[in-house]
Structure 1
């Protein structure tokens, strides 16, 4: 079985690198591809290889997806808010540092995910009915706190409400979108408009400064704090239904400001991203709940291997993904001297074409509306976190039974 686990980890790393580096492709997509090819693959590999590859792809994706966000400013569904400080560091010539901080956060998340998963498996199954009902109240309380402490509570509430309405509209009518990007493909134009194009339209111009790496500017205390807070947030959204990494990003802003502590925020959100993957696996085995597309594909596989085999594959993938992320961080040097205006325009054109390819005309409409909403915070001088209403409001509706 060890050979099958290692083989699956290698295949999964390859799939995760592709999904992490290519905007619009998620590990869920790669898992769906592996599942659709299951009959063919079983002629060459045993079921352990396929299941291991699915989970290894998810873990690898959580490491690698910071690269396009940092260098190009294109948000992934899992890294929407984290893109803002990471790309800002790149514009300061610290892109390699941002990627290395993200890799460090994901590595810390792997280390903390096992004790968190064990604690959740032992304690939470008996409390699950109450937890399912109370999620919306927790999200509502966090959103209310963020709005009250805003620079302009009125505008914060307005942006949160409008973005929430846009999120409900996009998800409710997602059947109008082309399904090239999968059932959740509509999130790509939604979040790219709110946190990608809207930011790039007002981004700085001129020439990208020379990229240099002089170490990670984070105190040990900040590393510990960010790792723990991010891992707890990732564990919560990994176990609880209806939540996602984007929700964890929003929750973390209530304790770590992405504008005041950008490096710690990048580390915390990366830890949350990776822990979410491992806790989703724990929820599958402990309470038979599927929290993401990879877990759905894994549950539908020909044979579901023991949890220890899948965890080992995930751990091996994490080691490989960490080394690859550090290697890819050196790509920062390629962007020194690049015309920022031309780069931003190229990214905007790419995102528009990708949205149309993945979701068709409906994706173009969602992208246009999301860009308009995402442009407002910079005009009224409030933080962009309130655009997370696009994710938080649908989660609250789901929790309260208005699915």
Structure 2
């Protein structure tokens, strides 16, 4: 058993620290490489891979500014702290908040089974409407109109993208909306990134409090179809007062969402992420004994990651800190464009540029870039999902 878990941790580490390499992509590659994929051992590999990824995917959004769907809204405060020489602190917040999310989620997993079985899609739709309202109403004056326009434009853009023949639609969408737009405005910054120290500048009591809040919102995200970790983190943002508390919530949401999605899968058969889709194709249903084993794997994996995650991030962060920041950003933009072309050709690049234009417009209009989450939210609001 441990062999498969360790292999999953290795693969998840690769996807977590590599910009633009999603865990789902690597999982599909692993599936093709294995001579006889399937069986519970393969489930443990995939699950530990996905869980590891949630601990380490803060690295690209902190040091490179390249988000995924799950970490899109955290890129702004994470990148800001990195530019102020606190990048390693962000990674430590991610590791510790994710670990606490596991600690909180495990005992909540059993009553969650009952909750998952009684979930209704109407509840999910109401939650998204409330979140959209809060995103817009919290702007001031004419900015509310701008925020509404960005929300609607992003939402219509998301609906159009869903109809396009793209292999990796959300790579172009989220890297464009949140990554490219942030990098473009950072090009004039000629400084070098200083990783700083890993000390978390927050009291233990506050850290526990906001990690628990994030865990609860992660539970919510795992219940609602197409309601992502980023959207759940947005809800949590109304409880936070600064970058560190927001990041604590966001990273706790990301990991707890993954854990609770496993429990939801066990209870209802519903898949809330790509890893579970792969697992369901090969191994379903899970028995109660297998669920308990996977929850034990959750504890083992989380503990192992926290033994090496910070040291690995320190080594890579120091290497990055020696690179001129403008050159690094230009290199990242070239990498993104190349990846976009590789995945979906000229069409993919066009979607990326469109998304970047929408993201950049939020900075010009001086509204929260999180209003771009309309790219997913509008779809939920006007369609029926289970």
Asked if these proteins are the same fold (TM beyond 0.5), I'd say: yes
SS of the aligned residue for 2:282 comes to coil
What does 1:242-321 align with in structure 2 at a 5 Å threshold? Answer: 242-256=226-240, 261-302=242-283, 304=286, 306-321=290-305
Residue by residue over 1:119-155, the C-alpha shift from the partner in whole angstroms, topping out at 9 and shown as x without a partner, is: 2112341x22xx2122122111111122111132111
Q: In the TM superposition, what whole-angstrom CA distance separates every residue of 1:159-218 from its partner, at most 9, and x where no partner exists?
A: 111111111111222xx22x3xxxxx2111101111111111112512225432162111
1:104 is aligned to: 96
C-alpha deviation, 1:41, in angstroms: 5.0
Q: Is the 8 A contact 1:146 1:254 kept in 2?
A: no
Following TM superposition, by how much is the alpha carbon of 1:346 offset from its aligned partner in structure 2, in angstroms? 1.0
**Structure 2 unaligned residues grouped into runs of 5+:** none
> What does residue 159 of structure 1 align with?
150
Matched, 1:374 2:359: yes
> Aligned pair 1:29/2:10, yes or no?
no
In the alignment, does 2:143 pair up with 1:147? no
Taking the aligned partners of 1:390 and 1:222, their CA distance within structure 2 comes to 32
- TM-score, length of structure 1 as denominator length: 0.89
Which residue is 1:194 aligned to? 177
Q: 1:209 to 1:115 in 2, by over 3 A?
A: same
- After superposition, residues 322-361 of structure 1 pair within 5 angstroms as 322-330=306-314, 331-361=316-346
**How far apart in 1 are the matches of 2:21 and 2:365?**
33
After TM superposition, give the deviation of residue 39 of structure 1 in Å: 4.6
Partner of 1:182: none
Aligned to 1:170: 161
Residue 9 of structure 1: aligned partner: 5
- Distance between the aligned counterparts of 2:299 and 2:198, measured in 1? 29
Alpha carbons of structure 1 residues 360 and 228: separation in structure 2 relative to 1, 3 Å: same
Q: What secondary structure sits across from 1:79 in the alignment?
A: helix
Deviation at 1:294, TM superposition (A): 1.0
2:191 is the alignment partner of 1:207:
yes
Task: State the shift of 1:263 in Å.
Answer: 1.0
CA distance in 2, matches of 1:220, 1:282: 29
Alignment partner of 1:384 out of 354, 369, 374: 369
| Equivalent residues of 2:125, 2:380 under 8 A apart | yes
CA distance in 2, matches of 1:214, 1:83: 18
Q: 1:243 & 1:365 partners in 2: Cα distance? A: 26
Q: Distance in 2 between matches of 1:368 and 1:253?
A: 28
Aligned residues: 379
Which deviates more from structure 2 when the two are superposed, residues 11-20 or residues 307-316?
307-316
Partners of 2:34 and 2:318 in 1: CA distance = 40
Mapped partners of 1:397, 1:325: distance in 2: 41
SS in 2 for 1:78: helix
Cα distance change on mapping 1:21 and 1:149 into 2, 3 Å: same
Deviations along 1:322-347, one digit per CA (max 9) or x if unpaired, are 22321223133233353221111111
Q: Distance in 2 between matches of 1:30 and 1:205?
A: 33
- Aligned pairs for 1:54-65 within 5 A: 54-65=46-57
Distance 1:302 1:66 in 2: 30
| Change beyond 3 A, Cα 1:210–1:39 | closer
Greater Cα offset, 24-33 or 364-373 = 24-33
Root-mean-square deviation (CA), in Å?
1.9
Change (3 A) 1:191 1:214: closer
Q: 1:24 and 1:342 mapped to 2: Cα distance? A: 19
The 2-side partners of 1:299 and 1:214 are apart by: 39
CA contact (8 A) 1:170 1:186 kept: yes
